[in-house]
Structure formats: structure tokens, C-alpha cells
A and B are shown apart, each in its own frame.
Chain A
Amino acid sequence: MDVAKLQQQHLELTQALFKEGFLDEQFTQLQQLEDPSNPEFVAEVSTLFFDDSQRILAELTKSLDGDPVDFKKIDAYVHQFKGSSSSIGAHRVKVGCTVLRTCCEEENREGCWQALQQVKQEFFLVKNRLELLLQLEQQILAEGGTIPFME
């Protein structure tokens, strides 16, 4: 594939991710942290985020199914999840977590469940896109191009 095309694609994908609110500027900062000494930083963080999040989501689902529901435990998990999502700049996941936390504070099980579904969905969406983006970056690098950067 043409490098220029890939770059264009990358650019548009990134723009779309920002536009649709999947990512915020924190992600840009992450990208800035990448340098020759640490070339895979974004990928590394993202992967970690995916793994960790999936674990947390599993825990959350389990906790929410328990009877009685341990809202404190859920709150702790949600807090963690929120932290990590804001670290990586997954904006919509973060917002979802806020909602979930509110529901959790209200001990609203139904609300929690719905919010959790929402968060899950957002997470998988952002995961998909991010993976695609990372893949693109790999390709660009493989073709010998440079990754376009959008401030």
C-alpha cells in the first residue's frame, strides 16, 4: 500500500476518533511520549489498558451479578477503570465510568447494569479503533514512512 494513502487513512482515523469523542488530548500526550528510546509506548500502554480493562469489566460483571451487590467493591473497580481510561484518553469510556459511578453511589443496580453495558460497549468500540490505529501505524512504519501527527 501507498505510504501516502496509509498516512491519509491514519490521519482521518485519528481525526474521526477525536471527533467522535473516543479519544481526547490525553491520547495525544501519550503519542508525544513515544520516542526512539521508547518506540512502542502507545502500543504498550494500549495493550495494557485493554488487558486490564477486560479484567476489570469481568470483575464488575461478576460483582454486579452477586447478591447482595457489593457496591463498594464495584466503586473501587470503577474508580480504577476510570483512572486508566482517563490515562489513556479514552474519553467516552471515562464518561461512561462516571455514569456508572453515579449509579453505584445511588446503589441503583439496574442503572449500574445499564451503565456497565454502555461502558462495555464503549470500551470495545475504542479497543477496536485503537487496534486498527496501531495496526496502521505498524504498517506505515513497515513501509518506511513516518507516522503523521496531529496536534
Chain B
Amino acid sequence: MCQVSTKKTMKCHADATAVGPGKGFQASTAARSNHQVGPGRLPAKWWVQASAAPAIRPSAVKVQNQRIAKRWHVRLLVLWVLAGISVSIWVFYSMNADIIKRRQEMLSNMCEERAWMLQDQFVSSLNHVRALTALVTTFHLGKRPSALDQDTFAAYAARTSFERPLMAGVAYAIRVLHAQREQFEREQGWVIKKMHSNELQPAQAEYAPTVLTQDTLSHLASLDLMSGEEDRENILRARASGKGALTSPFRLLESNHLGVVLTFTVYTTDLPPDASAEERIERTAGYMGGAFDFESLVENLLRQLAESQAIIVNVYDITNKSNPLVMYGPNISIETAVSHTSKLEFGDPLRKHEMRCRFYKQPPIPWSAITTSIGILVIVLLIGHILYAAVNRIEKVEEDYRKMEALKLLAESADVAKSQFLATVSHEIRTPMNGVLGMLQMLMDTELDATQCDFACTAHESGKQLIKLINEVLDQAKIESGRMELENVPFELRIILDDILSLFSAEIKDKGIELAVFVSERVPAVLVGDPARLRQIITNLVGNSVKFTDRGHIFVCVHLVDDENRVDVPPERSVESVDDEELDGSQNSCTTLSGLEAADEKNSWATFKLLLMHGSSEPISTSLETSSTVNLVFSVEDTGVGIPYQAQERVFMPFMQADSSTSRNYGGTGIGLSISRCLVELMKGEMTFVSKPGVGTTFRFGLPLKKGDSSMLKKHAEANWRHPQNAPLPTKFKGKRALVVDGRPVRSQVTKYHLQRLGIFVEIIVSNKCSSAVSRVMMRCGTTNYSSNCTSGNIDMILIDKDAWGPDTGVEFSDSLKKQTDARLNGLPKLILLAMSLTNEEASKEEFRDKTVMKPLRACNIALYLQGAFGFRNHRSQARVLIEGPGSLHNLLSGRHILVVDDNKVNRLVAAGALVKFGAQVECAESGKEAILKLQPPHKFDACFMDVQMPELDGFEATRRIRKAEIAASERLPRNGDVKNGKHTYRVPILAMTADVIQATREECTRCGMDGYVSKPFEEEQLYNAVAVLFDSAH
């Protein structure tokens, strides 16, 4: 255990130290602090700290790892170089050794060859000398007189000298005992001489005078061989052994060359091989000797061989091992490492010889080995260098990469920080700004004089601008940081568009431009998506258009992509559009909403008509019905200044406006379009635009949205008050008929669209002249034939644009229409003007009052104005009709006495108000106790509405008590005719009022004797149902 921990600490120590100063700050501080801990507490604490440090600083670990890696690289490199050097050295040595070995081998081969040759020649010479002994034995000893004389012998020896190549010559000496000396000297005619001095040989025991000599050794004639020391010894040895004997090398007589003498003994008779030395000496007749002249003869021999120059050959007599005698060769010792020794066998067992060979020259420098090894070394070093460079390079790149990564992280975090900063700051600014705006709003509501009001308004406007900008910046930041989340909630597109119109109504009224919305009827009523963002996009685009448009129109249009695709190729306008009504070519040129040319022709009447045709001809295609999404195309068209061509690329870049003058002229930041596009892309759509400078701009974007239905909408509204239910459009106009008269077909379609939303049947008369329109209207309404026999139902209203054929032509139209129908005015439908603005003068005129719908057209504002026109002005009277109808609540409740019990004052008042409304006479009670008192029979109340949850005594308990009291009271009554069917008389119907209608409450209601329940606040229908049951059963 202990060992393990120490190991760990050691490792940590290594870690800590491996981290360099500065970078591995944590680790090094850990190490430092550890030193302060003191030896006793070291291990545990130290381990924790040190191991914690790398975890905190992963980058430090990385650096550390890299350092370790780097060290390893260096180590590996050094190892590599060392290995390379050793390899090259090894290669050198092995090659060198190889060379040396080969040299040695060569030497030994040469040496052996020479030795063998020498020995061979020597032995053959030796054998021939032996043969000569036989000759002597045969022809000299056996014959008396001898068959051999000096001449014969010399001639024979000379002729056979090729058989003895190493031999200088042969001679035969005879054994002469001292006793026979004189006789011998007499016989020969000469005296025995001593060697070297050629003097007379003094008296010896025996002599060996040379009798027969080869010519080359003629100087030996008559010399006593026994007088030469080497010869004598040799003779003695030879005759004792019966074999050839060799002398040690010595200077030969006469030639003074180094040589050896070979001596064979010639016996008088043949001896058995096992004869003793004495016998041999006894029988000795003479001695045959041959001189080997090494110096010259061996030289000759060796010279015949190849490469004789290359080596030095020495032949030694090594009989005395400690002192080898040179027989041949220079006696200079050359210090060469390489030499070879070969044994020589010359046939004399006593004598041992050997041949030593050496190279004549010093061994050559082994260049090949040197170059090879140096080459290897160079290669290794080169590779090492390359590796080192590569590693360095990699390290550098890695280092750079790390730096870049760090920088990237830094940049990213800076970006995130920027976005966060923006978001935070924007948010933080928004909060106080809301306060400022709210306060300004409140300030404006107070009594202010004109100047103050102006100041306050300006401040408020500026504040609103600021908030808008902040919101936009916030949006941009959100989108950039990817934090924009889209909602997926059901919404009504048409209502959103109406809202947007109302947002800009004041602005466009001032500018005198027309703003209209059209939604294809094929677009589902309820869609699922992010209404807030959609609203933002469209508001942005419309706001943009409003900003840059001073005349003409802005037209927001929504179609299905399918429909648009079908009308992809705009048909020939001139051909297509002449057909209906009386539109002539001159006006066809611009059949847009306002009659001004627009950049994109898609909303001109020619295309628009086709779109509508498709919409109606194919009510709902099957694919549309089945698929859960619809692809919509939104287009926002204006006839404003347009975008300069060179600026069109930059339109969607944030904070980029067409040019710097734009912001001077029109204000704004130029962030809106960028956000819009980002939002559209977030919703998986695409935004494009077409713009012609001086003509206008059309922005289009497609969006895939899911289809929804109204039940989803309702459910959502209940769940979330932030997206409240919109007030539904009034339905009271359902079934009415309207005639829309206009000079511009697109505008008439817009009007139709809104009217249709109110459930009104719409017919359109488009005519390009006021007069023809009048006549057609007259025809349609059949006013010439008095009223009410119109062919397809009564026209309830005629809507005419105030500027149908030009400014105020709508007014002329109505005037002329009235003139023509003057007598039969009562038959004429109501005339309603659609106007952008009314002058004060006009507004005061009777004919406009209650008959003018102000633009921009929206279903709800049309409804509002129609209410005025049709006298639904007082809705309460209408409500009354409903309420007072037969079988209505009013019928049920009128005249009834009802007690309302609720502790909540407001609730009480509201409930009472509602009941009073329906004709009831209401009394109130504030608590259960009071109710019990009031309902103590007998009493006047026909019914009681009881709040369930009340302090002290709740509704249930109160009811129980009331029932108890009733039963008690009933029992007190005399049992007479008052009691019907066993029912007690006193039983007031009690209805529970409860906010949360759940099953449990309902059961509780019946259990404690209540007759029903109504939800609070009252819902008319429910109230009716409950009360109907109550009073029907009561009656």
C-alpha cells in the first residue's frame, strides 16, 4: 500500500516537474506548496493537490505531454544517431576483418603452396640421393675394382641433377678407419685433408674422405667430412639411424651460401630394418652427402611461383625451439600483423623445419570499408537530420495549431461574450426604457400644454425607436448566437395581417399611400408556427416599404406556392385581360393595386386573376388536404424608391443600407431586413426580392407552415394567456350581399376578401369608367324595375372606393347613382365609401356620415363601420333581441326573485348584474349565514345562486343547513293540499356557482342538495341550460 502511494507521489512529482514554469502554473504551485507542507504530511496532501492540478488545467497537461513527447523525440534521435554510428563502425570493422581474413587466407594459401612445393622438391631430392646410395652400393662397393670412378660419378650426377632441384651437388665419402688410412692414402694417391683449411687431417679414429664428387662439389674431393662439425655430427647420426640426416643450416663451403647437408649412409650389406645402431655402424661403408643450397636454389624455386614479390618467405630450422635458425630468407623482421607458418617435413625426424610467410607490404588501407561505413554514417546522419527537422517542423506546426486554437477559442468566446453582452445589455436597457416609456405615456395622459405635449410625444417616439433598435439588435444577437428559438403554436394568419395593417394605419394615412392585404382563400384559417416572428418579419418588410414609399401602394399578399407555381409564366397581358368587363389596354399597363407600376408583375391583375381562378377552380386539391404542411408565399410589394442596382447585393447584410445617404434621408439602422431574412431562414423559408429603382420593390418569401384547426387554437388560448384568443369577427353580416364597384380589379379583390371574411356574399363590378359602372350597377340591382326583383337576391350594400377612377371619383359615382335613382331611393342598397382619408369638410357632410369605411381595410373595421351603417350601432339593443327572444333566458328569469350568495363583492355584483339583465329581481347575500337567514322559509325567492367556496360557511354546508331548515319547516306545515305528490313545499332551487367545474364538485353539489351548478363567471348558454332545467321542472 505504502509502496503504491509513494509510487504515485513520485509520478506526480514527475508530472509537476515536467510542466515547465509559467505554463504549468497550477502544477508548479502545487509542487511549491507541497514543499511547504513538510515531510511528515507530505504524501497524502501532496497527491491530492498534484493530481487535482492537471484536472483543473487540461492545457497544462497538454503542454506537459507535449514536452514529454518532445524529450522522447530528442532521445530517439540521439539513439538513432548513436545506433547509426555504431552500425557504421561495425560495418567498418566487419569489412576490415573480412579483408584481413581474406588476406590471411591468401597468405596462408600462398605459404602452404610454397611449403608444399619446397617440401615436395626437397623430398624428391632426398629420394634421389637415396637412389644414389643404391648406385654407389651397387657399382662401387660390390665391384673390385669399382665400376665407378670419379668421372663416371660426376657425369651421372650431373646428368641426374634435374632430379635434385634443390641440391647444389652430391658427394660420396668413404669410411676409413685410422688403421686403413695409410693404405687408403696410398691407394688413392692423396692424403686426407681437413675441411675449411685444406690441411692434412691429423690422426683420428676414423675418417670420411670424399672420394666421389659431382663437379659442383669438386672442392670437397679428398676432404675429410668428419672434420666439419655439422658434417661429422650428421654422419654419425645417419649411420646410426640408417636414414637420411639433415644438418642444421650453416654456411656451405665454397659458395658460402646458407644451406643444409643431407647425409645417407651406405652400408656394406643390406641390413634388416630392425638392425641396431652398432650393427649399422659396423657395416657402414661410406656416406653419400648432398648439399641443399637454400639460398640460391629455393630462391629459384620460389621465383617461379606467382606473386613471389608480394610475400616474404622465411624457412627456419626449429629443432631448437627457443632459437630458430634461419635457413632461408632475409633475416629482417618486418613488423606485420599478418604472417603464416607452415610446417615442413624434410624426412629427418630429428630436424624440424617450418616456413614463415609474411606480406612484403603493409596491408593496404581498407578504403572500401571506410567509404561504406562513412556512407552509412552519412545516410544515418542525414536521416537523423531529416527526422529532427520533421519533428521540429511538426512541433512548430503543432505549436502554431495550439496557438491558433487558443486564439480561436478566444475569438469564439469573445464572440459569445459579445452576443451575451449584447443580449444582456439590450435586456438591461429595455427594462428601464420600458419604465421611461410607460412614464412618458402616463405623462402624456396628464394635463399638458401643447409644447409639453409635443416634447413628451417626441421623447416617447424616440424612446420607442430606441426600444425598437434594441429589440432588433437583440434579435440579431440571438440569431447569431443560435439562441433564437421558434415557437410552434397555432395562430390565425389573417388576424395577424390585420394587426399589422392597423399598426401602420396612421402612418400611411399621413403619406396618402394605400396599404392592403390579401390572403388567398386556399390558405387555411389556422396555421401552426411562430406568429410573433412571422409578424416581426412582415412588420419589418411593411415598415421598410412604408419608409421608402411616398406614393402608390403597399400590398401584402399570401398565396399557396402550388398556385403560384401554376402561374409561373405570366401570360400575355394584353391578350388575357381584355376579356372581362371593359378594361381597355391603356389601363392594363398597370393593373396593380394602386395603378402604379410595381417591380414584380406577379401582383398585377393578369397574374392575380389567374391565381384566383386556380384558387376557385380547384377548391382543395387532394395533396393539399392530405399533407400536414402548406407552403405559403408571402409577398410585400411597394411602389417606393426601389433599391439601387449596385446596392441590391448588400440588402440583407446587417447595418447596411442602400447607401449612406439612405440613413440620412430615411433613418433606420438597416438591421431589419437582415433579421427578417434570418428569421425566414430559421423557419426554413427563403427570402428574395425584386427591385427597380424608381419603380418599387417586392419582397417575397416562402414559408412551410403546418396546418392547424380552430380547436387547437382554442386549446392553446386556454393554456396560455400570452397568446390570447382574438375577438372573433362578428357574424351578424352573414348572408348579406354586397356589390363592390371599383376601377381596379386587384383592389376590388382585396375588398372582397375582407367582406367574405365577414360572411358576406360579394359581387364585383370592375369598370374603368364611372358612367358605365353606374349603368351596370343599375342593371344589377334592377332599380329600373323598382326594388326587390333582383335576379339573384337583394344587394344589401354597394361598396365603392372613394378613388375608384381617380381622386374622389367614388363620390361622383354615388352622386350620379343617387341622381338616377332619386325617385326610387328606398330601393337602392346602402352606399358605402371606402376611403383612405376624409377631409374635415367631407366628414361633416351628411352623406359620408356612417357610410364611410376608412382604409386600410380590415375585416373588423369594416364590420365596425357596417354596424353603424346598418343600425346595429347599439349592440345592446341587438343583444336585447337575443335575450328577449322566446325561450330565452329573459323569458325564464323575468320577474323571478333570485338570491345571489357570494362573499366576493365583485363576483356578486357581476352575477347580480347578469341576472338583472335577464329580468330577474336580485337580492344579494354576503355569506352563507346571511343566505340561511334569508332563505328561512317562508320566503319570496324562486332560486338561489350560491358560491361554493366562501369563508366560514361554504356553499355546500350552507345548502345542507338550508335544506334541513326547509324540511323542518315543511313538517311544521299542516298536511293539506299544499303537499303535492309527497313533495314538501319548501324547496328552493339552489345552483352552485363555481369557478372550477370538476367532477368532484358536481357530485358534491348533488350530494348536499343543490340542483345544479353554473360556472362562474356566467356563460350564457350554460346558465340558460341550468335555469331551464330548474324552472321547467319547477313549473
Contacts and interface: CB of A to CB of B under 8 A. Distances in A.
Contacts of A79: 949
Contacts of A32: 875-876, 879, 917
Contact of B722 (A21, A34, A150): A21
A44 B725 contact: no
A18 B860 CA distance: 14
Nearest to B732: A151
Contact of A21 (B721, B730, B951): B721
A75 to B, nearest CB: 10
Contact of A87 (B502, B910, B1020): B910
Contacts of B722: 21
Contacts of B171: none
Interface string B872-908: 0111100110000000000000000000001111110
B431 to A, nearest CB: 13
B907 A15 contact: no
Contacts of B879: 32
Contacts of B951: 76
Contact of A146 (B730, B873, B907, B914): B873
B913 A89 contact: no
B502 to A, nearest CB: 7
Contact of A24 (B445, B724, B861, B916): B724
Contacts of A19: 499, 724, 726
B864 interface: yes
A76 to B, nearest CB: 6
Contacts of A37: 916
B780 to A, nearest CB: 31
A38 B1017 contact: no
A30 B913 contact: yes
Interface in A46-91: 48-49, 52-53, 76, 79-80, 82-84, 86-89, 91
A96 B861 CA distance: 32
A87 B730 CA distance: 23
Contacts of A128: 442
B873 A82 contact: no
Contact of B910 (A8, A21, A30, A35): A30
Given A18-B726, A41-B913, A89 B1017 contact: yes
A101 to B, nearest CB: 11
A151 B727 contact: yes
Contacts of A49: 906
B995 interface: yes
A28 B723 CA distance: 18
A86 to B, nearest CB: 6
A68 B445 CA distance: 43
A52 B906 contact: yes
A45 B725 contact: no
B1016 A87 contact: yes
A120 interface: no
Nearest to A79: B949
Given A48-B909, A84-B904, A87-B911, A18 B724 contact: yes
A74 B213 CA distance: 163
Interface in B55-83: none
A91 B721 contact: yes
B116 interface: no
Contacts of B907: 83-84, 87
B914 A44 contact: no
B1024 to A, nearest CB: 13
A19 to B, nearest CB: 7
B727 A150 contact: yes
B906 A84 contact: yes
A29 B1020 CA distance: 9
B765 to A, nearest CB: 29
A11 interface: yes
Nearest to A82: B995
Interface string B946-974: 01010100000000000000000000000
Contact of A84 (B724, B726, B905): B905
B761 interface: no
B843 interface: yes
Nearest to B906: A84
Contacts of B880: 35
Nearest to A92: B721
Interface string B359-378: 00000000000000000000
Interface in B269-312: none
Interface string B725-748: 111101000000000000000000
A9 to B, nearest CB: 11
A11 B864 contact: yes
A151 B913 CA distance: 19
B502 A45 contact: no
Contact of B906 (A25, A28, A48, A132): A48
A2 to B, nearest CB: 8
Contacts of B388: none
Interface string B696-737: 000000000000000000000000011111111010000000
B867 interface: yes
Nearest to B911: A87
Contact of B916 (A21, A38, A82): A38
B1018 interface: yes
A4 interface: yes
Contacts of A6: none
Contacts of A21: 721-724
B758 to A, nearest CB: 12
Interface string B852-876: 0010000011001001000001111
Contact of A88 (B854, B910, B917): B910
B905 A48 contact: yes
B665 to A, nearest CB: 30
A26 interface: yes
B1017 A12 contact: no
Which of A52, A82, A151 has most chain B Cβ within 10 Å?
A151
Nearest to A11: B864
A146 B868 CA distance: 10
Contacts of A34: 876
Interface in B89-129: none
A138 B777 CA distance: 42
A111 interface: no
A37 B502 CA distance: 35
Contacts of B854: 8
B430 to A, nearest CB: 16
A95 interface: yes
B949 A35 contact: no
A151 B728 contact: yes
A32 B843 CA distance: 30
Nearest to B838: A4
Nearest to A93: B721
A29 B914 contact: yes
A60 to B, nearest CB: 14
B721 A95 contact: yes
Interface string B219-256: 00000000000000000000000000000000000000
Contacts of B864: 11, 148, 150
Contacts of A76: 951
Given A30-B910, A49-B906, A88-B910, A149 B875 contact: yes
Nearest to B1015: A86
Interface in B986-1035: 995, 1016-1018, 1020
Contacts of A106: none
Interface in A100-135: 128, 132
Interface string B532-562: 0000000000000000000000000000000
A53 to B, nearest CB: 8
11 contacts: A12-B502, A25-B725, A30-B913, A33-B917, A38-B913, A52-B906, A83-B949, A83-B1016, A86-B995, A87-B907, A151-B730
6 shortest interchain CB distances as A-B pairs: A84-B906, A149-B875, A21-B724, A87-B910, A21-B721, A49-B906
Given A19-B499, A49-B906, 10 more contacts: A11-B864, A15-B860, A29-B914, A38-B913, A44-B909, A45-B910, A48-B906, A80-B904, A83-B949, A128-B442
